[in-house]
Each structure stands twice: as structure tokens, then as C-alpha cells.
Chain A
């Protein structure tokens, strides 16, 4: 076979196809990797279980705002309940208003049970799980939602 015979061209085109193929395969894998790495496997962050003190501290009919924990603790005749004060729209902290809660950021309004009564918020304010620690203190787990109306009796 002479050096200029057609088979050489075929081999060359096979090689170029193979290199092109491997290039795109590598590119795809690299792109997937580039998005895989910044997607954290474990979300860092503080534990969102808050000890709020002994139950006797809160009288029936009271409400206590915990600013740093972003929740409001209520006590009525049926028991305790906690409502998150993080707006379900885009995460601002709602403030207590006359008829419930109002969000400063885009004007969402909620009634005193957390249901939406106006503005862009898509969901009611979450009710959070209330329980007690070993020493008897009330504990609110801000990562656990409970259905609206759930009370915790002491």
C-alpha cells in the first residue's frame, strides 16, 4: 500500500471522529461536575431547635415574639402554638399588625392564625412544632411544620 492510499484517510477520519467524540463526552462530564460541586451535599447552618424557657413564663392569652428565632409563640386556652415570622413570599420577617401580620417587603398580609389575606405570599405562615425538653423548657423546632390549629398542651 502506498502512503497516499485511501485507507489512510479513513483511519484519519476515524481518529478525528473519536477525538471529537471524546472531547464532547469530556465536556459534558466536566459541565456536570461543575454544577455538581457547588451543590452542597450537607446544608450548613445552625440547628433550628430553640429552647424558649419554662411554660409557666407564658400566661394564657399571651403572645411572645422571638426576633432572632423568627417566630412568635402563642398561648391560648387550648395550649401553645408557634407561628413562623418568615414571610412565605420571599423570606422577609413579618411584623405584628392590627389584624395579624404584615410583611414590609412586598406588602403581604396574614391574619393572626397566619392565613394569607392579601399580597403576593403564596402560602400561610407555617405553624411550627412545639415540644418540651428534658428539663421541662418549651422547645420549638423551626424545621418541622405542623398543620394549622395544632396545639401543644402542658
Chain B
């Protein structure tokens, strides 16, 4: 007896490499049949958020440009590098700056990791914005994807909040003054409540600022709050929402695509065949239990291919492109670190990161209108799109409905002319306060270059609505105006605003001090 147990034990020991491998990799080999390929997909926690088959159209790089994936990839990179930075970073006003300096100058690979964190964060903001634009211009927010559009907006807001909170952590001049400005923007409803004289009774601005800073100036309490938000609360919320986002894509039947793109036919095995139509009376496995246009089971229905390997190779390559881009940027360009925060003298000019500079330009007209009102209007407007434009059509196709492309270009040049004209006027002639020094602040809150831009864009979109008799085209015109306006303001504030927020043609002309 004892002998057999010993032998069994030795045998198991001998087989150990195989049995462990089999336990970890269920399939144990590269899948060969479609059956095995589908098993490879749904036996893996990380792969099974994909359906087993995907439509060939959604695999075409020019549908999505992989933008959502790039955002995901840059987020993963920021998480990994962020945890590494946490090893040395100390969230206290006395130590923060020195610890970043240590990371940058003494910790081995510290500077590289810090650069990667910076660059991937920027890349994430950029790709999220572009991803939203692609979802919009391919009309992919339409039924049943309204909810996912909202989830996406939530993700965008959290992405911006992440980069805002991260900006304070180095506790250098740039950080200190950008957050001073940012928290006073949270305080800016006071501009309105002061102007009508009710701040004593109703002070939402003060409340928001206290919530953000835990004090009425940027200090220790603010740093701890931003730190907690940046390394825990916001990433966790983002991961959770991202899970919902991905899950919804799956439940909404994969990426948006035109209704029956090939007119009832499908390419299969080199020939065209009639599309497989699932029967209402039949059950096609688990997938048939959920409502919606899922890729049906069975072979060769409507131009789908196996996710393994087609989709996964595509995803891996987008991922690697993102990694390569951040690595190259981080190798050649260092994240900035200014002098230690000095509450007595601001940076001049004190600029926020580039994606907030559009808002900073608006804020230079009116803190409340530019810093809160217009951003809120924009986010609410974006959120309403799928609920105001409900007529199906154009899903999953760039500029899919009639005359969309021409409305896009018309709106593009219209918005370009209006934004540039407005900026040129403001730079040359100033605004109400320079003409009527004693004017009531309410006038400036209501009428300033920012609010006028919003009004003109809205009027243009109404004009398109009437003229083209199409809600989608009105939405296209408004969204295009928003994109162009945002880009121009961002560009303008980045390049053409110098010390004292004066206009300069180039940064090289800034006076030295």
C-alpha cells in the first residue's frame, strides 16, 4: 500500500510541470478549430468580455482608429507607472517637492517612469477626446447605445479630473498656481452671487472650494485631498465605469454598424451567401437569452470572424503602438518641474496643462461663465445628443447620412472664422470693462466673448436645423463648432498668450524677467 502511494506521489511530482500548466492554461495549446478558438475566448476572464465572433466591419482600422483602445492602454500605463511613483512620493507640503526631485534626479529609472506617467496621461486625455469625436461622427451613440454614450461622458470627466488632481502633486510653482486658479474657479459662483448680493445666504461657490481644499487656501489639506482623489477615488471610479462601458458594448451587440451592411448577403469562404437569420422560435445557446443584435452563434452568419485571433491581434497591436509612442516621447522629452511652490509670486504666465487652456482663455473673460457655466453647458449638451437625435441612420459609418460631410465642412469653416474673429476682436479692442470701467459685473458675466461664441454656435445649429430639416445635421453642426472652438481656444492660449496674459505672436517674443 505504502509503496503505491509513494509511487503515485513520485509520479505526480514528475508530472508537475504538465499538470500545473494544464491547470493554468485550460486549452494547453494554440487553438486550432473554431471551437477551440471560442473556448480560448470565453474561458479567460479578460478575453471573455469580447464576444466570440466579431463583425469584419468593426475590425476595419478606419472605423475606430483604435482610439478607445489607446485610451484604455494609456490608462493601464498610467496605473502601472503611478504605483511605481507612489513608492517614493510623499504627499506633504514639506516633502512633496523634494520627493519628486528625488524621483527625477536620483532614483534609478525614476525620471523615465515619471515621464511615462506624464506622457501617457496626456495621451489618454487626447485619445479620449478624439474617441468621443469618432463615436459622434460615426453616429455610434444612437439606440441602443445612448446609455454607453453617457457612461463615456462620465469617463471623460473623470479622466480630466484625474489629470487636474495629479497636477498639484509635485507642489512646484506650476502646480500651486494652477490649483489656486482651479479651486477659485470652483469658487466662482460667488462672482454671480456677489453680483446679485446673496453670497451671505447662499454660497455654493464657497462650499465647493472648501470641499476641494479643506481650507480657503491651497495647503496641506488640499494636497492630501487631491492625493486621495488622484491615487484612489478617481482611478477606482474610472475602472468601475470602464467595466460598465465595455460590458455595454458587448450587450449592445458589439460596435455600431449599419443595419445589414451587405444587403442580406455575406462573404463566406470566398463566395456570397444569404445571411443567417436566427429563428425566433429557436434557442441559440446562452447568447440568445439576451435581447439585442448579438452576433448569432453558428457558422458564418453575417460576415463575422472569430475574435481569436483576429480581434486580439488587432488589440495587441494598438496596445503596443500606444506603449511605443509613450516610450519614445518619454525618452526624448522630460516632464517639467519648476521651482518649489511660492505663494507670494505666481508663475508668469501661469498656465494650466494644454487641455485646460481653452477653459483658461474663457476664464480670462469671466471666471464664472468661462470656468463653470460654459463647461457645464457643453457637458449637458453632449449628454443630450443621443436623446434629441433619435432617428436611426448612419450608425457605424463616418458621416453616414446624406449631406453630413458638407455640413461638417461648412460648420468647420464657420466656427473657424467666428472663433478667430472673436479672439482677434477681443485682443485688439478689449471687452466691456475696458470701455465702461463702472459697468455692473452681471453684464460681463452674461455678455463676454465666451458666451457670445456659445450663442453664435447655437444659432448656427438652429439655422442648420431649419434649413436642412434634420436633427442629426443640426447635431453635427453644433458638435463641429464645439470641436473647432475648443481647438482654436486651446491653440490660442497655448501659443499666443504670454506674460500678463498678453497677446504675442510667438513665445520667443515674451519679455524676459
Answer whether residue A54 sits at the interface, using C-beta atoms and an 8 A cutoff.
Answer: no
Number of A interface residues, CB 8 Å? 29
Answer whether residue B314 sits at the interface, using C-beta atoms and an 8 A cutoff.
Answer: no
Inter-chain contact B210/A104, CB cutoff 8 Å: no
Inter-chain contact B360/A106, CB cutoff 8 Å: yes
- Of A38, A40, A105, A116, chain B has the most CB atoms within 10 Å of the CB of A105
On whether A70 and B344 interact (CB within 8 A), knowing A117-B437, A123-B194, the answer reads: yes
B: contact size bracket: 35 or more
- Dominant secondary structure at the B interface: helix
Answer whether residue A6 sits at the interface, using C-beta atoms and an 8 A cutoff.
Answer: no
Interface set of B (CB-CB < 8 Å, partner A): 177, 180-181, 184-185, 188, 191, 194-195, 207, 210-211, 214-217, 219-221, 225, 343-350, 360, 363-367, 371, 430, 433-434, 437, 441, 444, 499-502
User: How far is A67 from B434 in the complex, measured between Cα atoms in Å?
Assistant: 28
Known: A70-B343, A103-B501, A115-B437. 14 other contacts (CB 8 A): A39-B207, A39-B211, A40-B210, A40-B215, A44-B220, A70-B344, A90-B181, A105-B177, A106-B501, A107-B500, A119-B433, A120-B364, A120-B366, A122-B195
| CB-based A-B contact count at 8 angstroms | 104
Give the Cβ gap from A145 to chain B, nearest Cβ, in Å: 13
What are the interface flags for A43-78 relative to B under an 8 Å C-beta threshold, 1 for contact and 0 otherwise? 111000000000000000000000110100000000
B348 neighbours in A (Cβ, 8 Å): 104
Give the Cβ gap from A68 to chain B, nearest Cβ, in Å: 5
Inter-chain contact A104/B441, CB cutoff 8 Å: no
7 tightest A-B CB contacts, nearest first? A106-B364, A107-B501, A104-B348, A67-B344, A90-B184, A92-B346, A91-B184
Chain B residue nearest in CB terms to A121: B433
Answer whether residue A102 sits at the interface, using C-beta atoms and an 8 A cutoff.
Answer: yes
Show 22 A/B contacts (Cβ-Cβ < 8 Å), sorted by A.
Answer: A35-B211, A38-B225, A39-B207, A40-B215, A44-B221, A67-B344, A89-B367, A90-B188, A90-B371, A91-B180, A92-B350, A93-B344, A104-B346, A104-B347, A105-B349, A116-B433, A118-B433, A120-B366, A120-B433, A122-B191, A122-B195, A122-B367
On whether A45 and B437 interact (CB within 8 A), knowing A40-B210, A106-B360, the answer reads: no
B364 neighbours in A (Cβ, 8 Å): 106-107, 119-120
Within 8 A of B (CB), among A3-50: 35, 38-40, 43-45
Give the Cβ gap from A109 to chain B, nearest Cβ, in Å: 9
Inter-chain contact B430/A104, CB cutoff 8 Å: no
